Amino acid sequence: MRIFLVGASGTLGRAVAAELAPRHEIITGGRNSGDVRIDLTDPESIRRAFAQAGTLDAVISAAGSVKFAPLEAITAAPLASSVYGIGIEDKLMGQVNLALEAREHLADRGSITLVSGVLTDSPIAMGSSASMVNGAIEAFVRAAAIELPRGLRINAVSPGVLVESMPHYAPFFRGFEPVPATRAALAYSRSVEGLETGQVYRVV
């Protein structure tokens, strides 16, 4: 398969590439690196990236930013100045726009795999934006799955905090069992190389 992997330079993206590269052709995408430059917050950048990547059998996202902030520091605000704006524009709508544009470039029965995360169901302090965005992505995936044409499929991978991220994130995820990126990468393999659609693969 020809697979476009967005967020290829991140901890998760590198593990996904390592899992899939032995069996498939990986076109790497990233904001500042990779075969193809792509800025998920800019629909025109997404279009250009797909035009460059050519025809694909799978599109994978291991990308998306959200802002972590204590709820007490978050006040009612228009989206442009809201703490929630980044998560909605980047991790949520960036991936949704990636999925929407992917339809035009995927071969029949091709797949789209987005990333959510454990905070959908297991919240942490400072994580309300991440929870909100992850919940939105998972519900979007279930809904988009039933309307995609030509046998196209869409799933989400919802990993717990990565072992590799613990030096940075441990104080926020006390008591959570960290997940090796190699385990999260297996869920991407299951989405891309399996046949299911509308699934959320939880790796916790």
Report the interface residues with its own copies, using CB under 8 A: 43, 46-47, 70-72, 74-79, 82, 84, 88-89, 92-93, 96-98, 100-101, 119-121, 123-128, 130-140, 142-149, 198
Q: Closest distance between its own copies and the C-beta of residue 158, in Å?
A: 11
CA distance 9 to 199: 25
Question: Cα-atom radius of gyration of the chain, to the nearest Å?
Answer: 16
Q: Closest distance between its own copies and the C-beta of residue 95, in Å?
A: 11
CB atoms inside a 10 Å sphere around CB 9: 17
Q: Closest distance between its own copies and the C-beta of residue 19, in Å?
A: 27
Angle between helix axes 181-193 and 11-20 (nearest 10 degrees) is 50
Question: Phi/psi class of residue 54: alpha, beta or left (left: φ > 0; alpha: ψ in -120 to 50)?
Answer: left
95 vs 113, beta carbon nearer its own copies: 95
58 vs 145, beta carbon nearer its own copies: 145
1 vs 69, beta carbon nearer its own copies: 69
92 vs 185, beta carbon nearer its own copies: 92
CA distance 138 to 173: 21
128 vs 165, beta carbon nearer its own copies: 128
DSSP-derived 3-state class of residue 176: coil
* Residue position matching structure tokens 């025809």: 55
Element spanning 136, H or E: helix 128-145
Q: Closest distance between its own copies and the C-beta of residue 9, in Å?
A: 22
146 vs 175, beta carbon nearer its own copies: 146
Q: Closest distance between its own copies and the C-beta of residue 13, in Å?
A: 21
Q: Closest distance between its own copies and the C-beta of residue 174, in Å?
A: 13
DSSP letter string, 81-125: GSTHHHHIIIIIHHHHHHHHHHTTTEEEEEEEEEE--GGGTS--T
